Structure 1
Amino acid sequence: MIDAQGIDQLAQRLSSLVPPGLSQARADLQDNFRDVLAQGLRKLDLVTREEFEVQRQVLARTRERLEQLEARVAELEAGLKTGN
């Protein structure tokens, strides 16, 4: 997920688009932008890169184990066919 610093940077970029004559409103808008961005990101239910990588590794191990089990089942089925 985007960290607090990333949200702050994005809020600053958005507030920099406010016309110079509204400098007082700029600070308020920046705070509002930050809050809205943080709230929107929380709703997305995102995971960190670290959490994603852990789950990717779990999936790779699970896939490898499944392939081993499929091969073993095929061996057992072949043994049953030749044994009959």
Structure 2
Amino acid sequence: MLDKNVLNEIGSKVNEILASSPARDVEKNMRAMLTSAFARLDLVTREEFDVQQEVIKRTRIKLAELEEKVRKLEQQLQQPAEVVSSNETGDACCETQP
């Protein structure tokens, strides 16, 4: 969340401003102080957040699709191995009788 030092700094500046300024100056100084405080934080706009959320959604869908493909390919790799191993054990499935 917010750093405690930043919050303390904001609080002390608000107290300083309110103690020595008329209302218009207070508003002006508050805006400048808050703009400065927010500039030091790692914030993103709502638009940037929504874009990244959509990117993550598409990435999760793609990941699920790729996981399913890998699962199917692994199954295909195991099926021929099972056929080869059953032929090596002497199953009569492929041998001809005289």
CA distance in 2, matches of 1:29, 1:56: 37
* Structure 2 length-normalised TM: 0.57
Identity over the aligned pairs, expressed in percent? 41
The structure with the largest helix share of the pair is 1
* Structure 1 length-normalised TM: 0.66
Q: 2:30 matched to 1:33? A: yes
Gaps of 5+ in 1: 1-13
- Pairs aligned (count): 65
1:79 maps to 76
Gaps of 5+ in 2: 1-13, 82-98
Q: CA-atom RMSD, angstroms?
A: 2.1
String of CA shifts for 1:3-37, please: whole Å, max 9, x gaps. xxxxxxxxxxx7xxx48xx6xx2233332222111
Q: Structure with the greater relative contact order (CA < 8 A, sep ≥ 6): 1 or 2?
A: 1
Moved over 3 A (4+): none
Structure number, greater radius of gyration: 2
